[in-house]
């Protein structure tokens, strides 16, 4: 009998078969992300319904049916309302924003002097951008220019009265200009003041500690509106007769003091998170209190609380809209004020103006929060577990 030795050994790998049709590509993505379980499917259907019922009308309103330019309210009103649009029309009135854009930016700032605001804005951006981009060198000089030289230049440019520039009263300021000035001053005052308050709250000197705690807790316990009222109504009472404060300055004081109390609590959180060894190490090196705080503790503490600090900045930026209550017109205030303009009053005007203002606020706040996430990652030195 002949022995047969037939064995088959595959020498080449068979090409891998593709995954089943239901388990790859878009179908798989759908199954995993949208229809994993029956409940998921129900949720997806609900979500799709929500999207279908909100997004198309919004897009239609904001873009397709919107009016982009026009001279007065007639372009944004239906025939029944005394305009030119067909009955039942509903669309954004961007023509209103377009026509009032200058006012939204400058308020009632003297028309011929608006180049000064533009110049300030250009210097601001020119100094801010290199400060924010980590690769650009000379950070120290840049910071000095931004926080010390720029405010002086901006003050001279915006207020005027020197070097042949006409004086522009702050009561004429408005719109984005007021929002930006309030936020810039508020931010650059509240951070150092907040750090001082936080240090004071952790101080071993009972009088200093008590004062700081009283200030922080009082301000944090009351709404900004009452602080602004206090700044506008009570400050004049506290000062000797004849000594008056500019209303804008009062708003600035109110906003900055309010934000500094919140900042103090954020910074305190950072100070408490620093291990005791760091404080003791600094002491054992013979550093004085300010040296050990400035060189050892604060750099670590502030790095820890960057998200909190930026959140406070964002809160302050949003809170500037409240100065409307004491008769200042920031961006939101001036948009609100322009609803009363009979030339533009229509059913669509308020919504359009508010969405424009909301969009501007949103861009700034969203930008700040994204930058803080970026900075947090960059400064993370990997001590976290």
Partner 1 sequence: MASPTSVHDREPARASWFYDPQIRGIIFQVLVAIVLVLVVYWIIGNTTENLRRANISSGFGFLNRRSGFDISQTLIEYSANSTFGRAIMVGLVNTILVAVIGIVTATIIGFIVGVGRLSRNWLIAKICTVYVEVFRNIPPLLVIFFWYLGVLAVLPGARESVDLPFGTYLNNRGFYMPMPVWGEGAWLVPVALVIALAMSFFVARKAHQRQMATGQRFPVLWTSLALIVGLPLIALAAMGFPLTFDMPEQGAFNLVGGFAVKPEFLSLYLALSFYTASFIAEIVRAGILGVSKGQTEAAHALGIRPGPTLRLVVIPQAMRIVIPPLTSQYLNLTKNSSLAVFIGYPDLVQTGQTTMNQTGQAIEVVAIWMLIYLGLSLSTSAFMNWFNAKMALVER
Instruction: Please give the residue ranges that form the binding site for partner 1 (CB under 8 A).
Output: 32-34, 36, 40, 43-44, 47-48, 50-51, 204-208, 211, 218, 220-226, 229-230, 233-234, 236-241, 314, 318-319, 321-322, 324-325, 332, 336, 339, 347-348, 350-351, 354-355, 357-358, 361-362, 365-366, 369
Nearer to partner 1 by Cβ, of 153 and 326: the residue is: 326
Question: CB-wise, 6 or 241, nearer to partner 1?
Answer: 241
Query: Could you please report the per-residue DSSP string of 141-187?
Result: HHHHIIIIIHHHHHHHHHH--STTPPP--GGGB-HHHHHHHHHHHHH
The residues near 156 (Cβ < 8 Å, ≥ 6 apart) are 162, 163, 165
Residue in the block written with tokens 């950072």:
270
Nearer to partner 1, 192 or 358 (CB): 358
Shortest distance in whole angstroms from residue 249 CB to partner 1: 18
CB of 361 to partner 1, least distance (A): 5
User: Within 13 A of 198's CA, how many CA atoms are on the CB side?
Assistant: 26
Distance, CA of 298 to CA of 155 (rounded, Å): 30
Minimum distance of partner 1 from residue 109's CB (angstroms): 22
Q: What is the closest distance, in whole angstroms, from the C-beta atom of residue 18 to partner 1 in the complex?
A: 24
User: Among 89, 67, 70, which Cα is nearest to 79's?
Assistant: 89
Residue 377 beta carbon to partner 1: minimum distance, rounded to whole angstroms: 17
The set of residues, in sequence order, having a beta carbon less than 8 Å from that of 194 and lying 6+ positions away, is 259, 260, 261, 262, 263, 264, 266, 267, 312
Closest CB to partner 1 among residues 20, 242:
242
User: In the complex with partner 1, which residue's Cβ is closer, 274 or 365?
Assistant: 365
Distance, CA of 306 to CA of 300 (rounded, Å): 10
Whole-Å CA distances, 149 to 114, 117, 142, 144, 153: 21, 16, 10, 7, 6
CA atoms within 13 A on the CB side of 276: 0
Beta carbon nearer to partner 1, 81 or 142? 81
Quick one: 156 or 351, whose CB is closer to partner 1? 351
CA distance 302 to 306: 6
- Specify which residues 173 forms β-bridges with: 107
Task: Give the integer Cα–Cα distance in Å for 70 and 91.
Answer: 14
3-state helix, strand, coil in the chain (%, to 5): 70, 0, 25
Please state the closest distance from residue 26 (CB atom) to partner 1, in A: 12
Cα 364–chain centre separation: 5
Q: How far is the CB of 96 from partner 1 (least distance, A)?
A: 13
Q: Of the two residues 32 and 148, which places its CB atom closer to partner 1 in the complex?
A: 32
Report, in Å, the least distance between residue 211 CB and partner 1.
7
> For residues 319 and 329, which CB has a smaller minimum distance to partner 1 in the complex?
319
Shortest approach of partner 1 to residue 191 CB, angstroms?
20
Which residue reads 């009452």 in tokens? 226
Q: Which is nearer to partner 1, 52 or 143 (CB)?
A: 52
Q: Is 161 left (phi over 0), alpha (psi -120 to 50) or beta?
A: left
Task: Give the pair of three-digit tokens for residue 345.
Answer: 């009053």
Min. distance of Cβ 90 from partner 1 in angstroms? 10
């Amino acid at each position: 009998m002949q022995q047969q030795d037939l064995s088959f050994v595959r020498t080449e790998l068979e090409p891998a078969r593709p995954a089943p049709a239901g388990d790859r590509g878009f179908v798989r993505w759908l199954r995993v992300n949208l229809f994993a379980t029956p409940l998921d499917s129900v949720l997806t259907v609900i979500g799709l319904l929500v999207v279908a019922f909100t997004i198309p009308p919004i897009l239609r309103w904001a873009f397709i049916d919107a009016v982009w330019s026009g001279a007065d309210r007639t372009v944004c009103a239906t025939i029944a309302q005394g305009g030119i649009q067909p009955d039942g029309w509903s669309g954004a009135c961007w023509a209103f924003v377009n026509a009032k854009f200058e006012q939204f930016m400058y308020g009632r700032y003297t028309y011929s002097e608006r180049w000064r605001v533009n110049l300030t804005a250009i210097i601001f951006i020119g100094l801010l951008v290199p400060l924010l981009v980590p690769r650009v060198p000379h950070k120290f000089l840049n910071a000095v220019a931004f926080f010390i030289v720029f405010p002086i230049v901006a003050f001279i440019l915006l207020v005027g009265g020197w070097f042949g520039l006409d004086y522009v009263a702050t009561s004429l300021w408005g719109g984005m200009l007021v929002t930006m000035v309030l936020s810039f001053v508020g931010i650059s005052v509240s951070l150092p003041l907040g750090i001082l308050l936080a240090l004071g709250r952790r101080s071993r000197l009972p009088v200093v500690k008590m004062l700081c705690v009283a200030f922080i807790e009082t301000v944090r316990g009351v709404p900004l509106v009452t602080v602004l009222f206090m700044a506008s109504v009570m400050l004049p009472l506290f000062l000797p007769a004849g000594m008056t404060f500019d209303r804008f300055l009062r708003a600035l004081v109110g906003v900055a003091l309010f934000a500094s109390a919140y900042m103090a609590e954020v910074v305190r959180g950072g100070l408490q998170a620093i291990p005791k060894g760091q404080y003791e190490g600094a002491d054992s090196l013979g550093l004085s209190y300010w040296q050990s705080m400035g060189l050892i503790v604060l750099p670590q503490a502030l790095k820890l609380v960057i998200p909190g600090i930026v959140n406070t900045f964002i809160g302050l930026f949003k809170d500037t809209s409240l100065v409307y209550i004491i008769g200042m017109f920031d961006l939101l205030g001036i948009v609100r004020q322009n609803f009363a303009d009979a030339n533009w009053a229509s059913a669509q005007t308020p919504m359009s103006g508010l969405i424009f203002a909301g969009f501007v606020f949103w861009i700034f706040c969203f930008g700040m929060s994204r930058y803080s996430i970026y900075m947090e990652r960059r400064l993370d030195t990997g001590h976290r577990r």
